[in-house]
Amino acid sequence: MASLRLTCNRPVRINQVIRTDQLHLQGRGAEGHEAFVLEGEYLVPFEELSELIPKHRAFLQKGYDAGHFLCSGPQIPAGGGFLIARAESLEKLQELLAEEPFTGAKKMHFSRITEFNPVQHQPALKDWFATSL
């Protein structure tokens, strides 16, 4: 079952009564997973990562195969990278990321991990966002 979030189209005070016509339902992903955008920041010049790239790509492939990762890639110019992922929680995501070779070697860190609510997407992505892990 998907969870729902109620939002209001105007600021409200705590304990303020609001009319139901001001509420909007926003569906979230399937119960059991949340969606995240991750921004990685290289801590060394990109050239120093070359020996770890095969391990990094193997880590990513494992995440794709398990259904955790949607897409990933380096920034242009290469100063870091982005990853769209899903996990049961932020804590579970961090457990997955503990195996990432660039961060394990202290050559990259995730400067931003943002949970988001994918309310709109290409129809081809419906199953990825809607199915449980």
Query: What pLDDT is stored for residue 26 in this prediction?
Result: 37
Point out the least confidently predicted range of 27-36, 49-58, 93-102. Answer: 27-36
pLDDT tops 50 at residue 22: no
CA-CA distance, 77 to 44, in Å (whole number)?
A: 14
CATH superfamily, with its number, for domain 31-130: Dimeric alpha+beta barrel (3.30.70.1060)
Query: What pLDDT is stored for residue 32 in this prediction?
Result: 55
pLDDT (tens digit, 9 = 90+) per residue, 38-77? 999 999 999 999 999 999 999 999 999 999 999 999 999 9
For 35, residues 6+ apart whose C-beta sits below 8 A from its C-beta are 29, 84, 85, 86, 115, 116, 117, 118, 129
Encoding tokens for residue 124? 């081809």
Query: What pLDDT is stored for residue 30 in this prediction?
Result: 47
- With tokens 């081809």, the residue in question is 124
CA-CA distance, 77 to 55, in Å (whole number)?
A: 22
